Structure 1
């Protein structure tokens, strides 16, 4: 009885041994493409067979290494393409940071000023009638407009030029690109503004600086809306926005200088609009001066010779009698 059971076991083991090489080869082939031993790959699928996983169907030549797959199906190519997309966005950020820094410096240069007494304890810093620290500066904005070389004048003139560039950024192909470039331009301004507070105005208390920076941000948001409205509604509305922001609603403002700034802004926006994106991104940009608009402002309008009742525009509402 024992011998029969041993003979039966031997025959069973002999039959199973014949199947081992085939099963091993199938297991080896499957594990060459996946780490899951239970997954089975058909080494000779039909021509129209759909893949059962993200791995494309393979044929015996590919499995044995006698043929190379198309380049578009190589995982390394797909990974490189995905990496290029990611690094493209990162490169956009670095490009925007460096380019907007140079663009910002061109904006900040227009009404730049310095205070020789800054940082010197033995010298008293001069003040304006309003109590602002008074510095020295040159250029059309500080010599021809009646504006004083102060921090507030510098910040308003700088933000006016930043508005011109930010308006051009809105024409970029994508919203994300516009937001990236606008944000970097604004960041450069606030970094420089805080640095000037410490170096030129001895403002070392962080809480005080934060208060002024918050006010500057509120002014920037209001300035965007005011200049946008002026560009859309006309020169009179734009002149009023410049008068409120740059000239602090001064009643003794030089009307000729104000008109030159209006003409200057419109000419700058027209020039920026005709500039290709690549030129702007390469920082091939330099602002002119409102002084060049003197001849345009001095020209007599044709409507000045028209009778008042024939002038274009809406009639004024009748005056109500008390």
Structure 2
């Protein structure tokens, strides 16, 4: 069950490196040296985020966080801890495989170092988004900006980022949190994952865009 829940989070920010199948092809990189892949989700197509390993990890963390908020309401603390442990384990296995297969990090020691850094980031994500849910949209938006947009005022094209896109993620997180709260534990799989591995609740909503646009 936790594997399926993780996949519902993982698919949101998934990306590919087409050059891996092209002999001698050079993989494009960001200014920080990260490989740039190709992503098809709305996080890349509509929000303009760069399909890199770090962006994937933050999009996945965001969805794992949304699940965590719901799982905290489980009657048993032990059940919540089991879910949490398995979710981060699935993330770690996927991240390590991604480092090796997509990015050529064959050194186990280097991968382990990155995994430790990612776990620290996960703890920071929990604290930052918790604060945002409690203190309001401005604080939540700031946390989203720091994590997804790396606290940069400019997008990949060099232009100032569209702050409406940050606000749209705030609306998305609020809506998904509310919808997950209505689900029983047994409904998480059926409501989150459809036959083509795309989650229903984790899909973009036109209502989020309209809500943000209506606040201007």
TM-score computed with the length of structure 1 as normaliser: 0.60
Q: 1:289 aligns with which of 196, 200, 204?
A: 204
Aligned counterparts of 1:241 and 1:290: Cα–Cα separation in 2: 21
The offset of 1:145, in angstroms, is 1.8
Q: 2:139 aligns with which of 237, 245, 256?
A: 237
**Counterpart residue number, 2:213:** 298
Cα deviation code 1:241-267 (max 9, x no counterpart): 001111100113221110010010011
Within the alignment, does 1:111 sit opposite 2:13 as a pair?
Answer: yes
**Counterpart residue number, 2:158:** none
Unpaired stretches in structure 2, ≥5 consecutive residues: 155-160, 193-198
Question: Moved runs in structure 1, 4+ residues, more than 4 A?
Answer: none
Within the alignment, does 1:277 sit opposite 2:185 as a pair?
Answer: yes
Q: 2:125 aligns with which of 217, 223, 242?
A: 223
The offset of 1:113, in angstroms, is 0.5
Secondary structure class of the residue paired with 2:19: coil
Secondary structure class of the residue paired with 1:137: coil
CA RMSD, Structure 1 to Structure 2 (Å): 1.5
Q: 1:210 aligns with which of 104, 109, 112?
A: 112
Within the alignment, does 1:174 sit opposite 2:76 as a pair?
Answer: yes
The alignment covers a number of residue pairs equal to 202
The offset of 1:144, in angstroms, is 1.9
Aligned counterparts of 1:219 and 1:134: Cα–Cα separation in 2: 21
- The answer to whether the Cα contact below 8 Å between 1:117 and 1:123 also exists between their aligned partners in 2 is yes
Unpaired stretches in structure 1, ≥5 consecutive residues: 1-98, 302-322
CA change 1:180–1:294 in 2 (3 A) is same
Structure number with larger C-alpha Rg:
1
TM-score computed with the length of structure 2 as normaliser: 0.89
